[in-house]
């Protein structure tokens, strides 16, 4: 298992490099925005990856509540943490893109705002896991994940209606996309997905080691007390 990681890490790094090259030089220049638009190739794949990871967290959380399988809990923790990393990138690159193009740092754009609320919910999820020192933390965290999932459609609707009452700029535009740009976008998504898998893998190994150390420590204190 230890050998396998570098074997997959190297092609992932190469893929990321290739995707970067495509985004910077191969993709055609956007007519109205110019080169700044290339942020799109990092912003959008990060968003898709974050949402996918949060979905994995939801499935793992429900699985844990139903089956009480500790591996499911580990998967939930890992996907939440890596998901927050990618979500942070979406929230940082979004305003950096918006500022030169639309002249504003922030707008209540429906996708950006939903991303912000998801980020808040999952950061609170990670804080709960860190601050809760009972053996029942996995259960509580799983419950919170379900509440978060129930919240997201409500967030989406409330912002959607808010925008019909208070028109605001749309970041990232809708509409059709040039097929050459779509090609570059998909390559970057593939590269970042592989990268996300590697990050989750590394984090999962870390979590397994962490649990082993915890178990060893409690064994140790058990032996101490019975001496």
**Structure tokens, 53:** 């990871």
Nearer to other proteins, 178 or 220 (CB): 220
Asked if residues 127 and 111 have their Cβ atoms less than 8 Å apart, the reply is: no
| Contact call for residue 67 and other proteins (CB under 8 A) | no
Nearer to other proteins, 28 or 34 (CB): 34
Tokens 């990681």 correspond to 5
- Shortest distance, position 7 Cβ to other proteins, whole Å: 18
- Shortest distance, position 125 Cβ to other proteins, whole Å: 9
| Contact call for residue 216 and other proteins (CB under 8 A) | yes
How many CB atoms sit inside 10 A of residue 88's CB? 15
Half-sphere exposure (Cβ direction) of 164: Cα atoms closer than 13 Å? 5
**Structure tokens, 42:** 């990092």
The span of 6-14, 38-46, 67-75, 179-187 binding other proteins (CB under 8 A) equals 38-46
Identify the sign of the CA torsion 100, 105, 109, 115.
Answer: positive
Asked if residues 144 and 124 have their Cβ atoms less than 8 Å apart, the reply is: yes
Helices within 37-69 (DSSP H only):
40-67
> Using CB under 8 A as the criterion, what x/- string covers residues 15-34 for binding other proteins?
-----x-------------x
Q: Which residue, 182, 171, 59, is CA-closest to 115?
A: 171
What whole-number distance in Å separates Cα of residue 57 and Cα of residue 75?
7
| Contact call for residue 128 and other proteins (CB under 8 A) | yes
Tokens 């396998």 correspond to 4
- Shortest distance, position 67 Cβ to other proteins, whole Å: 14
Tokens 């950006």 correspond to 112
Q: Which of 5, 8, 11, 35 binds other proteins (CB under 8 A)?
A: 35
| Contact call for residue 124 and other proteins (CB under 8 A) | yes
| Contact call for residue 226 and other proteins (CB under 8 A) | no
What whole-number distance in Å separates Cα of residue 33 and Cα of residue 216?
57
The span of 2-10, 66-74, 141-149, 171-179 binding other proteins (CB under 8 A) equals 141-149
| Contact call for residue 104 and other proteins (CB under 8 A) | no
**Contact footprint for other proteins (CB under 8 A):** 20, 34-36, 38-39, 42-43, 46, 65, 85, 88-89, 92-93, 96-97, 99-101, 117, 120-121, 124, 127-128, 131-134, 136, 139-140, 143-144, 146-148, 150-151, 154-155, 157-159, 161-162, 165, 195, 199, 202-203, 206, 209-210, 212-213, 216-217, 220
């Amino acid at each position: 298992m230890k050998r396998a990681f570098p074997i997959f890490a190297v092609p992932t790094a190469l893929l990321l490099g290739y995707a970067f090259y495509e985004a910077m030089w191969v993709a055609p220049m956007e007519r109205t925005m110019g080169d700044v638009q290339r942020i799109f190739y990092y912003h959008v794949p990060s968003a898709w990856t974050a949402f996918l990871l949060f979905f994995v967290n939801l499935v793992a959380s429900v699985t844990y509540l139903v089956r009480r399988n500790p591996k499911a809990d580990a998967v939930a923790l890992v996907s939440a943490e890596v998901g927050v990393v990618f979500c942070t990138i979406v929230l940082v690159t979004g305003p950096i893109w918006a500022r030169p193009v639309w002249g504003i740092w922030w707008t209540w754009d429906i996708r950006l705002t939903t991303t912000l609320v998801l980020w808040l919910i999952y950061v609170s999820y990670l804080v709960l896991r860190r601050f809760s020192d009972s053996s029942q933390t996995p259960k509580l965290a799983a419950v919170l994940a379900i509440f978060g999932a129930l919240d997201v459609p409500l967030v989406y609707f409330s912002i959607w209606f808010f925008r019909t009452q208070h028109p605001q700029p749309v970041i990232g535009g809708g509409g059709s996309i040039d097929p050459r740009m779509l090609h570059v976008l998909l390559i970057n998504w593939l590269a970042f997905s592989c990268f996300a898998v590697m990050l989750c893998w590394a984090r999962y190994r870390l979590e397994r080691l962490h649990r082993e150390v915890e178990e060893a420590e409690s064994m140790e204190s058990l032996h101490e007390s019975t001496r």
